[in-house]
Amino acid sequence: METSSDLSSMARLNIGGKKFCTTIDTLTIREPDSMLAAMFSGRHSMCQESKTGYIFIDRDGKHFRHILNWLRDGIVPSLSDPDCFELLREADYYQLLGLKDGIKDLRIEGGEVEAELTRIDIIKCIQSERVRFRGVNLSGVDLSKLDLSLVDFTYACLRNVFFSRTNLQSAKFREADAEGSIFHNATLRECEFTSANLRGALLAGANLQSANLQDACLVDCSFCGADLRSAHLQNADLTNANLEGANLEGANLKDAKLKNANLKGANLQRAYLKQVNLREAHLEGANLGGANMMGAIR
C-alpha cells in the first residue's frame, strides 16, 4: 500500500499525450541544472490536470522514456541516426547537458568523423575581428550562447551543432550542411542560408527577420513561434516543416514547397505567396490579410 510520503514523491507527466510516472528524485538528482530539475525543485508552481494530476509538457513524448532511463541509470541509448538527432533536440530542450555529452561521445566512438575544432578553439578564434570557418567540419560541437555574429560558415559541415541562444546575426551559411542542428531561440537576423541544408533542424523561437533562406532545404524543420518577418524563402523546400504560430509577415515564399507544412495560427499578413500550392499546407487559423496570392493554388 502506498503511503502519503510515497505519493508526494511521485511525479506524473503527460508529454505530448504520452503519460509517464516517475519520482521527483529521478527528475532532479542526476541533472540538477536541467529544466526538469527546476520544474520539480519546489520553487515553481505547476499546472496539473484537475482530474488526473498529470503535469502537461508540450513536447513529443516519443523519446521521453530514454530521457527517464538516462536519469535513472545514466545509460545513453544506442539509436539510429534520425532517432539520435531527435533525442539530442529533446535533451537540449530539457537542458540535459550530461545526456547531450553522452550522445556526442557515443557517436564519436561509433566511427563518426570528429569535428576539426572544439568549442574552446572557436571561442579563441572569435576574439579576432573577422572569423571565417568556410568548409570546416564542426559537426556536433556545442556553440550555444556564443556571439558568432558576422561569422562565415559557408560550405561548412555543421551537422547536429548546438546553436541554442547563440547570436548569429548576419552570419553566412551559404551551402552549409546544418542538418539536425539546433538553433532554438537563436538570433539569426539577416543571416545568409542560400542553398543550405537544414533538414530536421530546430529553429523554434529563433529570430530570422530578413534572413535569406532561398533555395534552402528546410524539410522537417521546426519553426514554431519563430520570427520570419520579411524573410526570403523563395523556392525553399518546407515539406513537413512546422511553422505553427510563426510570424511570416511580409515574407517572400514565391515558389516555396509547402507540402504538409503546418502553418496553423501563423501570421502571413502581406506575405508574397505567388505561385505557391496552398492546398498542400495546413492553414487553420492563419492570418492571410493582404497577402499576395496571385497564381497560388487554393
Query: Residue 156 has what pLDDT?
Result: 93
Query: How far apart, in whole angstroms, are the C-alpha atoms of residue 186 and residue 194?
Result: 18
The strand ranges marked E within the chain are: 10-15, 18-23, 55-57
C-alpha cell of 190? 539577416
Topology (CATH) of 4-109: Potassium Channel Kv1.1; Chain A (3.30.710)
In this structure, are residues 64 and 15 in contact, taking their beta carbons and an 8 Å threshold?
yes
Q: What does the pLDDT read at residue 87?
A: 87
Q: Give the integer Cα–Cα distance in Å for 231 and 228.
A: 5
| Distance in angstroms (rounded) separating the CA atoms of residues 129 and 17 | 49
pLDDT tens digit at each of 298 positions of the chain = 444 444 458 899 999 999 999 999 999 999 998 989 998 887 766 777 777 889 999 888 999 999 999 999 998 888 876 777 788 888 888 889 889 888 876 665 554 556 767 888 888 777 655 678 888 899 888 899 999 999 999 999 999 899 999 999 999 999 999 999 999 999 999 999 999 999 999 999 999 999 999 999 999 999 999 999 999 999 999 999 999 999 999 999 999 999 999 999 999 999 999 889 999 899 999 999 999 988 888 7
Parse the chain into domains and list their residue ranges. Answer: 4-109
DSSP secondary-structure letter at 136? -
Instruction: Count Cα neighbours of 254 within 13 Å in the Cβ-side half-sphere.
Output: 10
d(CA 158, CA 124): 19
The answer to whether residues 208 and 188 touch, using CB atoms and an 8 Å cutoff, is yes
Distance CA 198, CA 181 (A): 7
How far are the Cα atoms of 90, 101, 196, 198, 234 from residue 215, in angstroms, in the given order? 28, 33, 8, 11, 6
